[in-house]
A and B are shown apart, each in its own frame.
Chain A
Amino acid sequence: MLPVNYYLILSAVVFAIGVVGVLIRRNLIVVLMSIELMLNAVNLTFIAFSRYLGSMVGQVAVFFVMAVAAAEAVIGLAIIISVYRQRRSLDPQDMQLLKW
């Protein structure tokens, strides 16, 4: 069996990729996908520890995260669609009205 460290490192890398995606990509759909990446990186950590510690609690948490992620994707995509219909653009830099 692979040591748990490997899973954790992989999960950290995926998470970091997700963060960078959220911060620098200029397409909202990709930003949403990056958020999914981060969530799944967390899921990976949960699973790894669940297995390592022999406890089922981590897997329960994963199901919760997946359910929330599904709901979040639905709402996020709905918002993205309606934004696109309004502005014909998905670039977050075009959406800066909410400021001083």
Chain B
Amino acid sequence: MVTNQLVLADYNLLRWIPLIPLLAVVCNLFWGRALGKKFAGALACAAVGASFALALYVFWQLPSNGIFRDSIYTWIDSGSFRVNLSFQVDALTAVMLLIVTGIGFLIHIYSLGYMEHDEGMVRFFIYLNLFIFFMLTLVMGDNLLILFVGWEGVGLCSYLLIGFWYHDSNNAIAGNKAFIVNRIGDFGFILGIFLLVTELGRQGIWTLDFLELQKHASMLSPASIGVITLLLFVGATGKSAQLPLFVWLPDAMAGPTPVSALIHAATMVTAGVYMTARLHFLFVLAPSTLSLIAWIGAATAFFAATIALTQNDIKKVLAYSTVSQLGYMFIAVGVGAFSAAIFHLFTHAFFKACLFLGSGSVIHALDGQQDMRKMGGLKAHMPQTYWTYVVATLAIAGAPLTAGFFSKDLILWQAFSHDATALWGIGLITAGMTAFYMFRQLFMVFHGECRANDHAKAHLHESPAVMTLPLMILAFGSIFTGWLGAPEYLWGNRWDLWLRPVFGAAEAHEGSVGTEVIVTLLTLAVVAVGIYFAYAKYGRDGTEVEQRAGAGGLLYRLSLNKYYVDEIYDHVFVRPFTAISDFFARFIDPWVIDGTVNGVAAVTRGSSQVWRGLQTGNVQHYAAGLLVGTLALLAYYFGQS
């Protein structure tokens, strides 16, 4: 690997980027009610907007090979182990900063319209701002511990926002599920951190600082690096919804739609990808972990895409699509193309946020309806939502010159050129399925006849400008953000250039430009086939959607029921666990635990029944006792001598 000359500089402005949203949280927490819904929402938006402006400024100042650092204070100082509370921004963090604050800002604005009629709007914005704070902590932390604080913080906010409408116990259960599944991943993550610290500590290096870690990573033995990266990746599978821990993400759609867009599509779920990219210097030293990551990514991409083919809930389709796209990112990570992974993360943030917000606009218009079978023909009623949705759908499907085209192609090409033909094949098929399910959704929601009931039809309306404006900006981004990472045969990859100081120069691609073009054309052909099938099945006129779907086939039912993964987990993990808990609650707790405690008390009371007779309260008895004792001692003493 090429060593990079990184320039470190102090930059005290950085702390304000996460701090401003936190101040807004505090303000809304104490005075939100007094300020009123409108003002509290505006304050929250302004805070994220200010963070975005600051992030832009920092980005502007930052040279590609520079690192800005803002040390606030020493958090832990124990012997030679020292952890600072400090933030840093390098090229990678700058990108994440712009995604989090930029997309976050748009989604905040959108939420002003979406949550307008909701009782808990102030609470919503408090959670949302708190999320932004933790997410910024996650991406800006200059050591693993700060990253972990942010990691757990966003998990908490995710839980709070999934269960935002807690009056419906299903939502609360979905929140719990997300939290518990993430706990499993986080357990692996924190074990990985512990192991990393102790293994490096054994070499005399006590640190969690990324730069220090990078310097000393080669001191670790290959075996321990393998285990450490594997454990860290377990954390990533939890947060980024990869096999086998992806089950929480589809359920997380119970939260308000802006939350799905911000947390469960654009930012939080990509934290796993960010973490692996941040620790790329560890992962590249563990080839076996990398290939496992690539295969898990590919399997997840494929598996989730097959589920998305048949879902009828508009947000569930998008949720499985997110899982699938995250799989793509991990394919890229797995073949060592970190910059491609972050590139797809970046473009995905735009088009998936746009899709989610578009679906939110539809749901808003239909008064909470999420079943695509009861939609259709909305094109005429919601032109702005429709056109932005079309753009984003084209982008995710990978139509030429859209963002998804460049980023997905880059990943597929990286897989292909790294001799991972099988991974490439899976990615290719998944790309076709992506095109199919996205266009299926487009046709079911916007084309054909309207299948909504009369009440909903009467209320159909385009969303207000505060909601459509973010949609348009995101749609704009869904096309043009991709142009940053164009392949060499067009105008070259600016993206890779920007991130090169962080990840090191990409290895020389094997394979010529000609092969790359052919691979791209092949992808496009597969995508076109996917779109054609979607049109053939759903596009002509969408009145009898269910019949046309080929309902009844075994594969169809498997996909519709998500391969029964939830049911399998329920039987294999949840039920035995509750059964054991039940057993403990019924027998172990009342009989063994309580029995021990009560038994000790009973024995004490029983024996004291006998001995307390000695204490009569009569002074003369005590005096007699003294006398007897003294005489006994004397007798013993004289008996001795």
Q: A83-100 interface mask toward B, CB cutoff 8 Å, 1 = contact, 0 = none?
A: 000000000110111111
Question: Which of A24, A92, A100 is B619 in contact with, Cβ under 8 Å?
Answer: A92
B620, CB-defined interface residue at 8 Å = yes
Contacting B at CB under 8 A, from A22-80, are: 22-24, 31
A17, CB-defined interface residue at 8 Å = no
> How far, in angstroms, from A99 to B618 measured CA to CA in the complex?
9
> How far, in angstroms, from A99 to B617 measured CA to CA in the complex?
5
A37 to chain B, nearest CB (A): 14
Q: Considering only CB atoms and an 8 Å cut-off, how many residues of chain B contact the other chain?
A: 10
A99/B615 contact (C-beta < 8 A), A23-B624, A23-B627 known: yes
- The reply to whether A99 and B624 contact each other, CB–CB distance below 8 Å, is no
Question: Which of A22, A31, A100 is B615 in contact with, Cβ under 8 Å?
Answer: A100
A19 / chain B contacts, CB cutoff of 8 Å: 627
Chain A residue nearest in CB terms to B618: A96
> How far, in angstroms, from A31 to B617 measured CA to CA in the complex?
17
- The reply to whether B623 and A22 contact each other, CB–CB distance below 8 Å, is yes
B616, CB-defined interface residue at 8 Å = yes
B586, CB-defined interface residue at 8 Å = no
- The reply to whether B623 and A93 contact each other, CB–CB distance below 8 Å, is no
Chain B residue nearest in CB terms to A19: B627
Question: Which of B615, B618, B624 is A93 in contact with, Cβ under 8 Å?
Answer: B618
B96 to chain A, nearest CB (A): 71
B618 to chain A, nearest CB (A): 5
> How far, in angstroms, from A97 to B612 measured CA to CA in the complex?
14
B616 / chain A contacts, CB cutoff of 8 Å: 96, 99
> How far, in angstroms, from A91 to B294 measured CA to CA in the complex?
94
B620 to chain A, nearest CB (A): 5
A96 to chain B, nearest CB (A): 3
- The reply to whether A95 and B627 contact each other, CB–CB distance below 8 Å, is no
Chain A residue nearest in CB terms to B615: A99
- The reply to whether B620 and A23 contact each other, CB–CB distance below 8 Å, is yes
B618 / chain A contacts, CB cutoff of 8 Å: 92-93, 95-96
Chain B residue nearest in CB terms to A25: B620
B619 / chain A contacts, CB cutoff of 8 Å: 92, 95
A96 / chain B contacts, CB cutoff of 8 Å: 616-618
> How far, in angstroms, from A93 to B622 measured CA to CA in the complex?
12
- The reply to whether B620 and A24 contact each other, CB–CB distance below 8 Å, is yes
Q: Considering only CB atoms and an 8 Å cut-off, how many residues of chain A contact the other chain?
A: 13
A61 to chain B, nearest CB (A): 20
Question: Which of A22, A23, A97 is B617 in contact with, Cβ under 8 Å?
Answer: A97
Q: A1-37 interface mask toward B, CB cutoff 8 Å, 1 = contact, 0 = none?
A: 0000000000000000001001110000001000000
Chain B residue nearest in CB terms to A31: B620
B624 / chain A contacts, CB cutoff of 8 Å: 23
> How far, in angstroms, from A31 to B623 measured CA to CA in the complex?
11
A33 to chain B, nearest CB (A): 15
Chain B residue nearest in CB terms to A26: B620
A100/B612 contact (C-beta < 8 A), A22-B620, A23-B620, A92-B620 known: yes
A95 / chain B contacts, CB cutoff of 8 Å: 617-619
Which residue among B616, B617, B623 has the maximum number of chain A CB atoms within 10 Å of its CB?
B617
Contacting A at CB under 8 A, from B581-622, are: 612, 615-620
> How far, in angstroms, from A17 to B389 measured CA to CA in the complex?
112
> How far, in angstroms, from A100 to B611 measured CA to CA in the complex?
11
A24 / chain B contacts, CB cutoff of 8 Å: 620
B201 to chain A, nearest CB (A): 58
B612 / chain A contacts, CB cutoff of 8 Å: 100
B620 / chain A contacts, CB cutoff of 8 Å: 22-24, 31, 92-93
> How far, in angstroms, from A23 to B616 measured CA to CA in the complex?
14
B615 / chain A contacts, CB cutoff of 8 Å: 99-100
> How far, in angstroms, from A18 to B627 measured CA to CA in the complex?
12
B3 to chain A, nearest CB (A): 81
A90 to chain B, nearest CB (A): 12
> How far, in angstroms, from A98 to B617 measured CA to CA in the complex?
5
A93 / chain B contacts, CB cutoff of 8 Å: 618, 620
B617 / chain A contacts, CB cutoff of 8 Å: 95-99
A14 to chain B, nearest CB (A): 16
Q: B540-551 interface mask toward A, CB cutoff 8 Å, 1 = contact, 0 = none?
A: 000000000000
> How far, in angstroms, from A19 to B623 measured CA to CA in the complex?
9
B508 to chain A, nearest CB (A): 91
A92 to chain B, nearest CB (A): 5
A98 / chain B contacts, CB cutoff of 8 Å: 617
B627 / chain A contacts, CB cutoff of 8 Å: 19, 23
> How far, in angstroms, from A24 to B624 measured CA to CA in the complex?
9
B623 / chain A contacts, CB cutoff of 8 Å: 22-23
> How far, in angstroms, from A99 to B616 measured CA to CA in the complex?
6
B634 to chain A, nearest CB (A): 13
> How far, in angstroms, from A100 to B612 measured CA to CA in the complex?
7
> How far, in angstroms, from A30 to B619 measured CA to CA in the complex?
14
A92 / chain B contacts, CB cutoff of 8 Å: 618-620
> How far, in angstroms, from A98 to B621 measured CA to CA in the complex?
13
> How far, in angstroms, from A29 to B638 measured CA to CA in the complex?
35
Chain A residue nearest in CB terms to B608: A100
> How far, in angstroms, from A31 to B627 measured CA to CA in the complex?
15
> How far, in angstroms, from A31 to B618 measured CA to CA in the complex?
13
> How far, in angstroms, from A23 to B630 measured CA to CA in the complex?
14
> How far, in angstroms, from A95 to B617 measured CA to CA in the complex?
7
Which residue among B612, B620, B623 has the maximum number of chain A CB atoms within 10 Å of its CB?
B620
Chain A residue nearest in CB terms to B619: A92
A18 to chain B, nearest CB (A): 11
A44 to chain B, nearest CB (A): 20
> How far, in angstroms, from A92 to B623 measured CA to CA in the complex?
12
> How far, in angstroms, from A100 to B618 measured CA to CA in the complex?
12
A48 to chain B, nearest CB (A): 20
B30 to chain A, nearest CB (A): 55
B249 to chain A, nearest CB (A): 65
B435 to chain A, nearest CB (A): 86
A73 to chain B, nearest CB (A): 17
A58 to chain B, nearest CB (A): 22
Contacting A at CB under 8 A, from B51-84, are: none
Chain B residue nearest in CB terms to A20: B627
What are some 12 contacts across the A-B interface (CB < 8 A)?
Answer: A22-B620, A22-B623, A23-B620, A23-B623, A23-B627, A24-B620, A31-B620, A92-B620, A93-B620, A95-B618, A96-B616, A100-B612
Enumerate the 8 nearest inter-chain pairs by beta-carbon distance, A residue then B residue, closest first. A96-B617, A99-B617, A100-B612, A99-B615, A96-B618, A98-B617, A92-B619, A23-B624
Query: 17 other contacts beyond A95-B618, A95-B619, with CB at 8 A cut-off?
Result: A19-B627, A22-B620, A22-B623, A23-B623, A24-B620, A31-B620, A92-B620, A93-B620, A95-B617, A96-B616, A96-B617, A96-B618, A97-B617, A98-B617, A99-B615, A99-B616, A100-B615
